[in-house]
Amino acid sequence: MIENAIYTILKELTKDKADGVYLDFVNDSEIDKEKTYIVYSLTSSTPHYDFEYGNSIYQIAVYSNNLSKALNIQREIGKYFSNLKTIIEDTEICGCDVSNETHNYTEGFYQAVSIVNILYKY
């Protein structure tokens, strides 16, 4: 599944920089404001079963108490996804588009957000 492929990519990309990668949310009881988290969530999905292709749009957010660190991780994720064509866990990623990179400060964290549009083959 594409969610597993994205998790694998984000975990590998940020293994020395982030303290956790999560789908959709981080449980409030586990949040440590001294740590850096990556949270990705599906915002739109259009499977094309007739052609064996799918298109999914994900929001990938970096949460950190250090703005520079959040932006550097966001930049690295953006560079990686913008050139991505690979096969991960039986999912062929055919191309990606990274857009709407923004950042803000919310609830004691800096949040750097990217929107990633992924075309993949089942």
Number of structural domains in the chain? 1
Nearest to 12 by CA among 42, 51, 38: 38
**In whole angstroms, what is the distance from residue 96 CA to residue 78 CA?**
10
pLDDT in tens, the chain (122 residues): 788 899 999 999 999 999 999 998 766 556 788 899 999 999 988 866 667 888 899 999 999 999 999 999 999 999 999 989 999 888 899 999 999 899 999 888 899 999 999 999 87
pTM here is 0.88
> Do 21 and 10 contact (CB within 8 A), yes or no?
yes
115 CB-near residues (< 8 Å, 6+ apart): 43, 57, 58, 59, 60, 98, 99, 100, 101
Range of the domain at 37: 2-121
Q: What is the CATH number of the domain that holds 62?
A: 3.30.2000.30
Contacts of 33 (CB under 8 A, 6+ apart): 65, 108, 109
In whole angstroms, what is the distance from residue 115 CA to residue 40 CA?
10
* Segment holding 28, helix H or strand E: none
Q: How far is Cα 7 from Cα 52, in angstroms, rounded to an integer?
A: 22
